[in-house]
């Protein structure tokens, strides 16, 4: 293999794009490119397969002393120049800009532009040059070699849209295999990943494979679809991805992932979602922060292969927990931000606008489980929530997988249940007012709202169906919420349970044989174990 440093430092590496046959529409004068190499999606898959049969080798290592000096402060002074954007004048509507490497983004990522002519496709690497960026004259970034690579990229808003494309973007790939998009409320929030490896496995450290190469397919003029191919590399897994991304009222991505295992993986997380949940109206440490709620997502929604709709409110647990929801041929799952009331957050970072992200499987995913990992946190700066699909059969060295799925970055689930949905979960001390509150009693209040409840005949009270993995219920009371909103009901109950192990609770409402609501599924951590309460 030719050494990239030698290759990109050569004169050929700086050949202008016009000389290689591209039109000025791709911003030839602003970017430098390497000579062409053949490209195909099948070839990228073959490359990933070949890599998996060889020992893991990290990407080209840049001078660590330079990267260390591009710290948070210095990195913040570096801005990509919009005039150097890929597709700045077309084709397509969405220019591409690039992120700079630094102390926290150390892995160089190669960016390629595809060119289709005479029924063949070739790829040419975009050679890094510090002239693409605005930065201070004394920035340590000037010391990186020509062709060093980039940290990631983003698609800017449409040039002919209502927003200033130079200041607004709608999808970004940055760091390991992480990527994210804005929803229809024009706000970033949670992230997705290419793959998750051994999240919260007590005997295996978590791995973070990297997207090391991206290939941009020039879009068709006027199209809202952009296509990007990616190569994944990590100690235990390699892969080839195709992303077809559409900018509409939110963002929808069709993902085709082909994965090859170098090693056994204990928790093989497909289509993983990563978010932050510190606290909400459910349960909050006293005076931990002035804001009523702080979270990017407030629950996990699941639509099972059998057709059941589940809602699992998120926890900030006293210790790391992993929950598995067994399923066969799942219809979808996602991390949602259901609470859209600004008064429930009261700050300026727009938690009320954070997108919900739904995974829609394409094809038969077979048997496995939607797994939810919740990690304790004491601040909003940590992503402590992971949701993913884990196949039932063990992930062994030498195996390969292909998963297709669609990601919906929207304000709400793309396939809402016809049933009434859970809109709030609240916990408090159990027992009766005016009497001593027993230490082993916890009061729950769960709210549902929706058309099936609004259509109940006058005087008909829905029946709660409650189950628990241990303990007993008392003072179970369904009642209409006294706010004159049709179909808004709440169920309060006390749970009496000793011990400190987590308790699994389930609740739905029915009338006769008719199910009225989705299933509320909650993991309760008895409060004697909570050191922050």
Tokens 């099948």 label which residue? 42
Q: What is the CATH number of domain 1-177+208-244?
A: 2.70.98.10
421-529, CATH topology level: Immunoglobulin-like (2.60.40)
Q: Say whether pLDDT at 386 is over 60.
A: yes
Q: What is the pLDDT of residue 16?
A: 33
Q: What is the pLDDT of residue 58?
A: 84
Tokens 């979602």 label which residue? 273
Question: For residues 326 and 303, what is the distance between their CA atoms, to the nearest angstrom?
Answer: 12
Q: What is the pLDDT of residue 439?
A: 82
With a pLDDT cut of 90, the percent of the chain lying above it is: 85
Taken as a whole, the chain contains a residue count of 533
Q: What is the pLDDT of residue 108?
A: 95
Q: What is the pLDDT of residue 45?
A: 98
For 184-240, write each residue's pLDDT tens digit: 999 999 999 999 999 999 999 999 999 999 999 999 877 889 999 999 999 999 999
- Joined together, the tokens standing for residue 38 give 């053949």
Q: What is the pLDDT of residue 285?
A: 80
Question: For residues 314 and 354, what is the distance between their CA atoms, to the nearest angstrom?
Answer: 15
Q: Say whether pLDDT at 19 is over 90.
A: no
For 267-278, write each residue's pLDDT tens digit: 999 999 999 999
Q: What is the pLDDT of residue 523?
A: 97
Q: What is the pLDDT of residue 465?
A: 98
503 or 18: which leads in pLDDT: 503
Q: What is the pLDDT of residue 222?
A: 75
Q: What is the pLDDT of residue 531?
A: 38
- Joined together, the tokens standing for residue 75 give 């990195």
Question: Do 261 and 52 touch, CB atoms closer than 8 A?
Answer: yes
For 299-331, write each residue's pLDDT tens digit: 999 999 999 999 999 999 999 999 999 999 999
Of 343-357, 375-389, 423-437, 466-480, the range with the lowest mean pLDDT is 423-437
Q: What is the pLDDT of residue 146?
A: 87
What phi-psi label fits residue 271: left (phi over 0), alpha (psi between -120 and 50 degrees) or beta?
left
Tokens 């008392």 label which residue? 474
Q: What is the pLDDT of residue 27?
A: 53
Mean pLDDT of 335-363: 97
For 342, the 3-state DSSP assignment is helix
Q: Say whether pLDDT at 479 is over 90.
A: yes
- How far is the CA of 164 from the CAs of 96, 167, 202, in angstroms? 14, 6, 47
348 or 6: which leads in pLDDT: 348
For 123-172, write each residue's pLDDT tens digit: 999 999 999 999 999 999 999 998 899 999 999 999 989 999 999 999 99
For 68-109, write each residue's pLDDT tens digit: 999 999 999 999 999 999 999 989 999 999 999 999 999 999
List the chain domain ranges: 1-177+208-244, 421-529
Confidence of residue 402 (pLDDT cuts 50, 70, 90): very high
Question: For residues 456 and 452, what is the distance between their CA atoms, to the nearest angstrom?
Answer: 7
Q: Taking Cα atoms as reference points, which of 337, 328, 198 lies closest to residue 276? A: 337
Q: If you average pLDDT over every residue of the chain, what do you get?
A: 91
Q: What is the pLDDT of residue 525?
A: 94
Residue 241: partners with Cβ closer than 8 Å, 6 or more residues away? 194, 211, 229, 230, 231, 232, 255, 256, 257, 258
- How far is the CA of 227 from the CAs of 113, 175, 243, in angstroms? 11, 19, 6
Q: What is the pLDDT of residue 223?
A: 83
Beta strands in 94-236 (DSSP E): 96-99, 110-117, 120-125, 133-134, 152-156, 169-174, 178-181, 191-193, 195-197, 210-217, 225-233
Confidence of residue 434 (pLDDT cuts 50, 70, 90): confident
Q: What is the pLDDT of residue 123?
A: 97
Q: What is the pLDDT of residue 59?
A: 73
Instruction: Decide: residue 286, CB within 10 A, 0-12 exposed, 13-18 middle, 19+ buried.
Output: exposed
Question: For residues 158 and 179, what is the distance between their CA atoms, to the nearest angstrom?
Answer: 19
């Amino acid at each position: 293999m030719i050494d990239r440093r030698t290759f990109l430092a050569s004169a050929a590496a700086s050949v202008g794009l016009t000389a290689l046959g591209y039109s000025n529409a791709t911003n030839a004068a602003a970017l430098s490119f390497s000579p062409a190499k053949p490209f195909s999606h099948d070839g990228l898959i073959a490359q990933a397969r070949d890599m998996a049969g060889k020992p893991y080798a990290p990407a080209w290592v840049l001078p660590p002393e330079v990267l260390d000096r591009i710290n948070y402060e210095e990195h913040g002074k570096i801005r990509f120049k919009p005039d150097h954007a890929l597709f700045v004048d077309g084709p397509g509507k969405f220019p591409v800009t690039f992120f700079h490497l630094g102390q926290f983004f150390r892995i160089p990522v190669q960016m390629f532009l595809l060119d289709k002519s005479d029924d063949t496709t070739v790829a040419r690497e975009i050679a890094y040059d510090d002239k693409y960026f605005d930065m201070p004259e004394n920035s340590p970034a000037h010391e990186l070699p020509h062709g060093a690579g980039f940290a990631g990229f983003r698609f800017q808003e449409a040039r002919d849209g209502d927003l200033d494309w130079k200041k607004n973007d709608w999808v970004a790939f940055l760091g390991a295999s992480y990527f994210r998009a804005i929803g229809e409320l024009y706000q970033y929030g949670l992230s997705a990943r290419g793959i998750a490896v051994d999240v919260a496995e007590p005997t295996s450290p978590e791995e973070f494979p990297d997207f090391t190469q991206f290939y941009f397919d020039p879009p068709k003029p006027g199209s809202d679809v952009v296509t990007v191919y990616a190569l994944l590399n990590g100690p235990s897994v390699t892969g080839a991805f195709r992303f077809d991304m559409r900018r509409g009222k939110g963002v929808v991505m069709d993902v085709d992932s082909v994965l090859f295992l170098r090693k056994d993986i204990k928790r093989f997380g497909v289509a993983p979602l990563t978010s932050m949940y510190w606290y909400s109206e459910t349960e909050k440490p006293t005076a931990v922060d002035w804001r009523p709620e702080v979270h990017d997502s407030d629950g996990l929604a699941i639509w099972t292969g059998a057709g059941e709709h589940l809602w699992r409110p998120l926890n900030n647990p006293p210790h790391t927990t992993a929950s598995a929801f067994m399923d066969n041929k799942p219809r979808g799952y996602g991390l949602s931000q259901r609470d859209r009331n600004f008064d429930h957050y009261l700050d300026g970072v727009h938690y009320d606008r954070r997108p919900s992200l739904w995974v829609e499987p394409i094809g038969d995913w077979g048997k496995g489980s939607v797994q939810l990992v919740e990690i304790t946190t004491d601040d909003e700066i940590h992503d402590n929530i992971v949701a993913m699909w884990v196949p039932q059969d063990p992930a062994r060295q030498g195996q390969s997988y292909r998963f297709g799925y669609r990601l919906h970055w929207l304000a709400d689930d793309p396939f809402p249940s016809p049933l009434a949905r859970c809109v709030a979960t609240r916990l408090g001390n159990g027992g009766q007012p005016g009497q001593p509150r027993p230490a082993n009693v916890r009061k729950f209040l769960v709210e549902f709202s929706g058309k099936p409840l609004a259509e109940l005949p006058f005087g008909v009270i829905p029946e709660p169906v409650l189950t628990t993995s241990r303990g007993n219920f008392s003072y179970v009371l369904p009642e209409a919420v006294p706010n004159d909103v049709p179909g808004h009901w709440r169920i309060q109950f006390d749970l009496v349970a000793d011990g400190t192990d987590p308790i699994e609770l389930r609740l739905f409402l029915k009338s006769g044989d008719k199910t009225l609501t989705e299933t509320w599924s909650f993991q309760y951590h008895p409060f004697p174990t909570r050191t922050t309460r």
